[in-house]
Amino acid sequence: MSEVQGQAAGVEEEDVKLTPELIAFIAEWKPQPGNLIMVLHRVQEHFGYIPRPIAFEVAELLEIPVAKVYGVITFYHFFRMTKPGRHTVAVCMGTACYLKGGQELIDELETLLGCSNGSVTDDGEFGIQAVRCIGCCGLAPVLTVDGEVFGNLKTDDLPEILAQFRGK
């Protein structure tokens, strides 16, 4: 296990390559107009983010300027170009959650994890992200860890939630 993790951590960004499946996916979408966003979604789903070299490869395969690929990636909040943590803590900052203390959750997480909103801890374990309404406003304030929803939270609940994921 640790060996695999070590390997994963050791992968330099420059080494990332499109997998055969991704290349096939791009080939399938290439003839369809308006394909870029769908391709980028698939890439991000695979890597967890859009690595720089991949953005170049995508441009080449779709035969469009790299500037267009970058233009799209930077326009949309959903796309990211930095590597996420092994676990992503997404705190809802939609209106209902904001009113019920979403900011306090972020503040407390920043203290607990020692990294700021939008960044990843030094050991790469957790990343904090503020997101918008996830549709569970009845349970506000809400956060998700790797997609699992935790609702009706108080700052005191946070250490226990993090413990459930740390090292997993």
State the residues that interact with ligand FES by CB under 6 A: 92, 94-97, 133-137, 140, 142
In the structure encoding, which two tokens stand for residue 138, read together? 């009845």
Could you list the beta-strand ranges (E) of the chain.
87-92, 126-131, 143-145, 148-150
**Which region, judged by CB under 8 A, interacts with another protein, from 6-14, 51-59, 95-103, 160-168?**
95-103
| Min separation Cβ 134 and another protein, Å | 7
Taking CB under 8 A as the criterion, which residues in 107-146 touch another protein? 107, 111, 131-140, 142
| Min separation Cβ 79 and another protein, Å | 6
Q: Which long-range contacts (CB under 8 A, 24 or more apart) does 79-83 make?
A: 79/40, 79/44, 79/50, 80/44, 80/49, 80/50, 81/49, 81/50, 81/51, 81/52, 81/55, 82/49, 82/120, 83/13, 83/48, 83/49, 83/51, 83/120, 83/124
Nearer to ligand FES, 73 or 97 (CB): 97
CB 86 within 8 A of CB 125: yes
Q: Which does 68 bind (CB under 5 to 8 A by kind): another protein, ligand FES, none?
A: another protein
| Min separation Cβ 92 and ligand FES, Å | 3
Q: Which does 33 bind (CB under 5 to 8 A by kind): ligand FES, another protein, none?
A: another protein
Nearer to ligand FES, 16 or 133 (CB): 133
| Min separation Cβ 106 and ligand FES, Å | 13
Instruction: Check residue 77 for interaction with another protein (CB under 8 A).
Output: yes
| Min separation Cβ 146 and ligand FES, Å | 17
Q: What is the DSSP string of 79-122?
A: --SSPPPSEEEEEE-SHHHHHTTHHHHHHHHHHHHS--TT-B-T
